[in-house]
Amino acid sequence: MEKEKHSLYYSPDYCRQEYSFDTTRKARWIADSLDRNPIDKIRLIAPPPLSLADLCLTHSDAYISAIATGEPEALAAAAGVGWCENTLTAGLSVCGGVVAACRDAVACGGVAGSLSSGLHHARRDRGDGFCTFNGLAIAARDAVARGLSRVLILDLDAHCGGGTASLIDGEVRITQLDISVDSFDCYRSTAQATCVLVGAAGEYLSTLDRELDRVGREWDLVIYNAGMDVHEGDCGPAGLDSTLIACREVTVFEYFRQVPIAYVIAGGYSRGPGGIADLVSLHRSTLRAAASVPRGLSHPLPGV
């Protein structure tokens, strides 16, 4: 039976980082937009933050210490969004939201989301590309630790998720499909992680269809990194507009309508003439698709 509402995790702590930039602020912009103009079936919930012990399963002690203390400064600020006393608090909350969304989606056999951003470039021992901690890898590892055996990370950010690929390497229960329009953080594809670069807007949806059919639907959980920086006004090729992106979102949720799926908001920047309003509208297309695509006969996994 279709779930009446699905949980979208968000806490003001997501935006506690002092450095003011789209990645550190847009969760609040989207949450505020939902207060003004709600999307049917979406319920905002505050997630529990991760613990330091949770982080240590994915990131190195030296890196976590740098984020906690600010020293050494170069390592603490390696993600590119500076460092402040709230950097650790924000990171624990953001990643806690990804984990909560994944657990929720599996528990209900449906869909859940988090307004988490700044994830897929972070590596074990450092941040990069506006990403402090890699919530995608953390949540996928949490899922397999709780008994899942087939977890797919679907990364449709404009840039490649090389950080995630490095962190799941050797964990055969986790697979990554990465379809990008920019070679930043590119990596060599393996049997476990596939990196596909698309150069033209006319090839984007057909590439997505082909790659989805290749990986199939037999997953215990899909973690969807829904980047909006593929837009033509951002990092994407001419012609990759909001209409194509909206089609992409529906395609993803339709394809995995019988699979537990957890989504996060990923890249996207207020560079165009519409600024923040247009960026928020693009991210809301993910929320609308998640809420409007009917769920199939997915059921919670027993014992998870």
Mean pLDDT of 100-110: 96
**Residue 55 · residue 133 · CB < 8 Å:** yes
**Which of the four pLDDT bands, split at 50, 70 and 90, describes residue 274?**
confident
The closest of 189, 132, 203, 127 to 155, measured between CA atoms, is 189
Distance CA 100, CA 107 (A): 10
Neighbours of 304 (CB within 10 A): 14
The rounded Cα 279 to chain-centroid distance in angstroms is 16
Percent of the chain whose pLDDT exceeds 90: 93
Residue 44 reports pLDDT greater than 50:
yes
**Residue 176 · residue 155 · CB < 8 Å:** yes
Q: Which residues contact 16 (CB under 8 A, 6 or more apart)?
A: 86, 89, 90, 93
pLDDT tens per residue, range 153-203 = 999 999 999 999 999 999 999 999 999 999 999 999 999 999 999 999 999
pLDDT the model gives residue 201: 98
CATH number of the 6-292 domain: 3.40.800.20
Q: Give residue 265's identity as a one-letter amino acid code.
A: I
**Residue 257 · residue 208 · CB < 8 Å:** no
Neighbours of 108 (CB within 10 A): 17
**Which of the four pLDDT bands, split at 50, 70 and 90, describes residue 302?**
very low
Q: Domain segments of the chain: what residues?
A: 6-292
pLDDT the model gives residue 200: 98
pLDDT tens per residue, range 235-268 = 999 999 999 999 999 999 999 999 999 999 999 9
Q: What is the pTM of this model?
A: 0.96
pLDDT the model gives residue 190: 94
Residue 300 reports pLDDT greater than 70:
no
